[in-house]
Structure 1
């Protein structure tokens, strides 16, 4: 994420996308819905949906062009998740969530998608099944200690994230090699959500 940098990371996108069968598709819709919420509402008013070309362009900003050009692009609308462009590599990208204050398109590989699915479903992710995510356009603020926080409350250590990559699903020993402070220096690699099943490495890209 972000979710984070992912979903509640509003990255991390609260969340997305596995196109390997009906079961994965259903889980993907749930993940994408958590990340993007209701794209048709903004302050109680219906919001016109951007065209597919703009959504694709937004999603491709998440990753290097060499990755994004062959990635599957998906987006949420009133009917649920839909594929805007079928890709040919292991990555799936999603466009910016217009309901968050900053740009946060996201691109993740298959293992990262499984990890996000576990996170959104409050399930234990498979340890040692390493996944990789790009958020090169930046991310929206998130709690560094609570995987499910939606807003700062004075005690959940809200952090600001710029362009970054994420490594998820690693063994605990992998994350032990990086800072785990609740209030990290976000200009350097650090562990988000340390001590939870969803800890992951945040690595800024300058």
Structure 2
């Protein structure tokens, strides 16, 4: 009887801690899915696949969209995005230092906003470098097959309307803000 009590005294708290840890992980996954769902309109996100930043499938989807609880290129980022297949190919190319080209338009939603980034240099990390930094609010990002298509668009994120981000790099894309942003002071 003493052995049984000792087992219960030792094993039950350990088992409880184990199951609580599993529940906490599941809740964390649910939180990530909920955050990813804020990146795009519901008619996209409700059937989208949701991947964690490391590529782990959090939820299988039935449409062609893939949503993340943050930007997968930025460790621990919490700015959700939803991408079509073209943007997924772009992300793969960027993360592997590969080349990217497309013959069709690509769309990415970031309706919950973005991290602070340098508009000219995708690799910049020092906000005191003198570059033009922007923390975009809700926006769409577009990939186009030909850079000539954006020749007349501004490179200035504060000029109003769509603009070209990272214009002088192979990672160029069009940013289409939903709300106006003011330059940082």
TM range (shorter): 0.7 to 0.9
Where do residues 1-206 of structure 1 align in structure 2 (5 Å cutoff)? 51-76=28-53, 80-96=54-70, 99-100=76-77, 103-181=78-156, 184-185=157-158, 187-206=160-179
Distance 1:90 1:174, change over 3 A: same
TM-score by structure 2 length? 0.74
Distance 1:150 1:186, change over 3 A: farther
TM-aligned CA deviation for residue 52 of structure 1: 1.7
Q: Distance in 2 between matches of 1:171 and 1:55?
A: 35
Instruction: Identify, as 1 or 2, the structure richer in helix.
Output: 2
TM-aligned CA deviation for residue 81 of structure 1: 2.7
For the pair shown, the structure with the greater C-alpha radius of gyration is 2
Deviations 1:105-152 (A, max 9, x none): 011011111012212222221143421100000111101011212232
Q: Distance in 2 between matches of 1:52 and 1:75?
A: 8
Q: Distance in 1 between matches of 2:126 and 2:76?
A: 13
- The structure showing larger relative contact order (alpha-carbon pairs under 8 Å, at least 6 residues apart) is 1
Distance 1:151 1:168, change over 3 A: farther
- Whether contact under 8 Å (2:86, 2:102) holds in the other structure is no
TM-aligned CA deviation for residue 175 of structure 1: 1.5
RMSD: 2.1
Distance 1:121 1:169, change over 3 A: farther
